[in-house]
Amino acid sequence: MRPPRWKSLVEKSIAACCAAIEIYNKPVVPHREETFAILVVAAWELLLKARLIQENGNRLKAVFETEPVKRKDGKPSKRRAIRRNKAGNPITISISAAIERTCGLQAKSLDTACKENLELLVEVRNNAVHFVNEDRDLAIRVHEVGVAALRNYATALADWFEHDISALRFAILPLSFDGAVAAQVVPAARRSQQAQNLLAHMERAIAGATAPTDSRFAVSLRVETRIVGNRAQDALPIKHGKGPDATKVELTEEALRQGWPHDYEELVRRVKQRVPGVKQNDDFHAAHRALSGDGRLARVRLLDINNPKSSKKTYYSDAMVDALATRLSAAAPSKSGS
């Protein structure tokens, strides 16, 4: 028995999505975020068209563009025909039209969060085709939107076509193993106007995103990776919280030494190794003050843990070294200090 027409589109869609993940997860690939966006949008477009064909009795006409048939006098008639390209092949609808039509289906329509997520990726794809968008903050946003797009894709694939892709390890690697470094902002002077406009659009869209009707879908997701010093097999993950329901966790002195091992003098020494020529000037102290408020980067400890009135001293994590060095490196070309 001949397989349904939509099935080949689903298979091609999965192949495009796997290619996007493979490109993104390679260690060094120029313009990988842009290439990833192009391939993921292609994967979603094929999936949406497969869904429309499936819902319309396996008829390909469901995704063909049509145009009015001209009468003998050259005027358009009410009859419509399939629009064809220069090679004579049918032209299919755009991804924007596919999104709208899939959202309008009576059964298993496209979730609003998927729609808004896809519109962001399409914008990234369109800008990638016309401009070069090399920007650290933009890369972070593409990662957040891309993670959501992959999760949405796997969920929709299972809902619409009962296709399980868990064996394919459908995930893109985190942008960085250190959230503090990943959060550093690229100086505005180094950002192109095109990248600035795209980033501003994405941030507005994410901030104003509609709440998903189904918790399995999302417009944007943030993935954080942390290195845990405790190697015990029964170690439990914890989160910082100040609410009334937050779990109280007391860190041992050993855990504090492992997590925040450097005093101020050692912090300065390590930063100077990372950024040759850096000076302990106003810029240095301002960056240090700005980062010291983050409990993951700096922590105040009692010199005598048995005496609550003991003198206090601030200690710093390895992440603080990375974050401070990164911030000073960005400012180094314009301000070296003395």
- Residue 233, pLDDT > 50, answer no
Confidence of residue 230 (pLDDT cuts 50, 70, 90): very low
What is the DSSP secondary-structure string of 72-138? TTS-EEEEEEE-B-TTSPBPBPPHHHHHHHHHT-SSSPPPHHHHHHHHHHHHHHHHHHHS----HHH
Q: Is 201 left (phi over 0), alpha (psi -120 to 50) or beta?
A: alpha
> How many Å apart are CA 238 and CA 247, to the nearest integer?
8
Question: What pLDDT score does 183 carry?
Answer: 40
Question: What pLDDT score does 232 carry?
Answer: 44
**Mean pLDDT (whole number) for 175-185:** 43
Describe the crossing of helices 112-130 and 95-103 by its angle, rounded to 10 degrees: 180
What pLDDT digit, counting tens, does each position of 273-326 carry? 888 888 889 889 988 998 888 888 888 887 776 777 778 889 998 888 888 888
Residue closest to 150 by CA, chosen among 27, 25, 26, 9: 25
> How many Å apart are CA 203 and CA 138, to the nearest integer?
10
Question: What pLDDT score does 105 carry?
Answer: 94
Q: Which residues contact 163 (CB under 8 A, 6 or more apart)?
A: 10, 14, 157
What pLDDT digit, counting tens, does each position of 134-148 carry? 666 777 888 889 889
Are the CB atoms for 335 and 283 separated by under 8 Å?
Answer: yes
Q: Which of 100-104, 121-125, 244-248 has the lowest mean pLDDT?
A: 244-248
**Mean pLDDT (whole number) for 197-219:** 76
Helix count and strand count (H, E) for the chain: 11, 4
- 272 vs 254, higher pLDDT: 272
Place of tokens 């439990």: 236
128 CB neighbour count, 10 Å cutoff: 20
> How many Å apart are CA 193 and CA 303, to the nearest integer?
50
Q: Average per-residue pLDDT in the chain?
A: 79
Question: What pLDDT score does 13 carry?
Answer: 95
Tokens at 319, concatenated:
């992440």
Question: What pLDDT score does 252 carry?
Answer: 62
Question: What pLDDT score does 15 carry?
Answer: 94
- Residue 49, pLDDT > 90, answer yes
Question: What pLDDT score does 180 carry?
Answer: 38
| Cα angle for residues 266, 327, 262 (degrees, 5° grid) | 15
Are the CB atoms for 180 and 323 separated by under 8 Å?
Answer: yes
Confidence of residue 331 (pLDDT cuts 50, 70, 90): low
**CB burial of residue 162 (10 Å; 0-12, 13-18, 19+):** exposed
**Mean pLDDT (whole number) for 163-186:** 58
- Tell me the sheet residues that pair with 301: 313
- 276 vs 231, higher pLDDT: 276
**Mean pLDDT (whole number) for 261-274:** 89
> How many Å apart are CA 204 and CA 206, to the nearest integer?
6
Tokens at 309, concatenated:
């009135």
Question: What pLDDT score does 231 carry?
Answer: 44
